Amino acid sequence: MRKPLIDKSCTSKIETAIKYELGHFYLYKHLAICMQAVGYFGAMDYFLAESKEEDDHALKHINFLNDMGVMAKLPSLSPEKEVPTELYEALELAFENEKDLLDYYKSFYKEEVLENPEIAEHLNFYIKTQVEAVGFYGDMLSLMESEKDNKNICMIVDSKLKKLA
């Protein structure tokens, strides 16, 4: 292994980001299974696609660390405790997790970019992705809230998710 091109603090933060991304990979698999069990097959397909995307995000961090001369340490993941049985609950859980990760990336950026400018471009991708994810889930939740009297809103949202999968 060659000499690392980034410091241990930055490496640790990227490894934490890997844990977040792999946690989301696992969460979206879990949500897909939960939505399948209650008959929201569009949401199932959407969450399976999201799971793959989160896995790709983790791999992008791993490859970045490798380019910086660091072998990534993979985290242990714990099982999900919540088992949503409603589409709204699943979308809310996704929103909360994506918002938490956006806050992490913003903090990471603020703390490390001046000392490690090479990390800026790498993190910009993640911040943009998180802003889009938070916005998307927020939009879906708002739609469901504004149409709460519409008995078909869950099927409408499920259909939208299917088209995006």
**Which of 92-104 are b and which e, b meaning 16 or more Cβ less than 10 Å from the residue's Cβ?**
bbbbebbeebbeb
pTM of the model: 0.93
Among residues 111, 103, 112, the alpha carbon closest in space to that of 130 is found at: 103
Where do we find the tokens 């939505």? Answer: 35
Q: How far is CA 102 from CA 85, 121, 126, 148, in A?
A: 26, 16, 8, 28
- What is the rounded average pLDDT for all residues in the chain? 95
**9-25 pLDDT tens trace:** 999 999 999 999 999 99
Quick one: pLDDT at residue 115? Answer: 86
Quick one: pLDDT at residue 62? Answer: 98
Series of mean pLDDT values for 10-residue runs along the chain (165 residues): 88 97 96 97 98 98 96 89 94 97 97 89 96 98 97 97 97
What is the assigned CATH class of domain 8-164? mainly alpha
Q: How far is CA 95 from CA 135, 139, 161, in A?
A: 9, 10, 14
Q: How many CA atoms lie within 13 A of 114 on its CB side?
A: 3
